[in-house]
Structure formats: structure tokens, C-alpha cells
Amino acid sequence: MTAASSAQPNNTRVRHRDMPAEPVVVELFTAQGCAGCPEANARIEAVAVEPGVIALTYAVDYWDYLGWADTFARPEFAQRQRAYRHALRIRNVSTPQVVIDGRRQAAANTEALQAAIDEEAARRVFPPEIEFRETGDRVGVGSGRAPTGGAEVVAVFYTPGPQTVEIASGDNRGQKVRHMNVVRSVRVLGPWTGRAVLYPLPEASSPDQAVAVLVQARSDRRILNGAVLESR
């Protein structure tokens, strides 16, 4: 099975990002009402252009009480962050929070974030391969060693590139807050137990959305591998 990230160009509408077979997944939990978040958003935007990185931005809703309802937030994104709190044994959730490969937190400053990405890129060996079918409606995950407790295959739909929102109230009132690769929805495709499996891939809610498929351990939440399908 050939990893999605190394697929050769073809004449279909399916396009894959040019990245290594084992990209590092960088997840930012942020909020438009969080005064310290715009700087972290900018750091994620800077690393998102690296070919070995899948950068995803999840907007959380627990800052809405300050007077601004985050336009990208969904309750399930805060639930995903809370799952990391348990797995990483963190006392509380907070924003901004950067999680690398589901394994560790990283400070949202340039040097620390890049160092964490480089360390994770060197760590991973022999992950299950991910391959999108040419029709774009299915994704295969190859065989490999499953973690204790098994794993699940997750489809993260997001809008690629930057988006800017003008904030009318709350701590960031009057500012234009910029986000990168904003997540729109998360779907669990099914379990992965170490055997090769082919999963149906749901349609995105909008034609401009990309999807990142992640193979993620259920117990400790580490991400075994990821791949991106940019359009269908």
C-alpha cells in the first residue's frame, strides 16, 4: 500500500499534499475571545507551510462567556481537548494549547514549537500506511502493530489556508483575528486493530474543505500516522 502523501499526480480531482509518509500532526486549540491566542495562531500558520506538518486549528467555545461567540467553535472540539487533558495528565484545559502527535504539549513560541516538531518527526517508525482511493470516497489503512487498547481512524474536515475574523466584543474587541486550517468537523470512521482496513470517507460539507485522516490510539491518544486529501 502506498502512503497518500507520496502518491503520484493523476488526472482526477484528488490532490495530496507533498509531505513525508510520516507527517507530524500539530493541533492548536484556540478561541477568538482569548487575548493570548492570536500570537499562537500566527505560530501555527508559520509551521503549517512545512511539508512534514499537518496543522489543524480547533476553536473552543468556553471563552464565549466573555461576550463574543466564537464563529468557528463546536462543543466537540472542546471535548477533544479534554480527552488530551486526561491522556497527557494535565490539570486543566486552557487556550492556546498546542498538542504534537497527540503525545505532548508544546509551547506556542517559534523555537519550542519547532524543536517539538523536529523531535516528533525523528521518533516515529513504521506507522500504518494511509492511502486514499482515486475516487476520493474511500481511505485505506494498512496493517501494523496496534497500540494497547486499539486505535481509531478519524477524519478531520477543515478549511485549508488562513481565515480572518473581525471581533466585535470581548477581550479581542476591534481586532482582526487570523486562523489557519480551521477544523469544521470530526468524524470517527471506525476502529483499527492492526489489520488492513478500507473505510468509506464521508463527503465534506463544503467543496472547499480538505480532510486529514488520522490513526489515533484510543487509550493514550497518540497519533500513529496522518495523511491529507485536499479536494475531491
Q: What is the pTM of this model?
A: 0.89
89: CB partners within 8 A, 6+ apart: none
Helix/strand/coil (H, E, C) string of the chain? Answer: CCCHHHCCCCCCCCEECCCCCCCEEEEEEECCCCCCHHHHHHHHHHHHCCCCEEEEEEECCCCHHHCCCCCCCCHHHHHHHHHHHHHHCCCCCCCCEEEECCCEEECCCHHHHHHHHHHHHHHCCCCCCEEECCCCCEEEECCCCCCCCCEEEEEEEEEEEEEEEECCCCCCCCCEEEEEEEEEEEEEEEEECCCCEEEECCCCCCCCCEEEEEEEECCCCCEEEEEEEEEC
Residue 1, pLDDT score: 35
Per-residue pLDDT reduced to its tens digit, 48-75? 999 899 999 999 999 898 889 999 999 9
What are the tens digits of pLDDT across the range 138-196? 999 999 999 999 999 999 999 999 999 999 998 899 999 999 999 999 999 999 999 99
Does residue 9 have a pLDDT over 70? no
Tell me the domain boundaries of the chain: 4-231
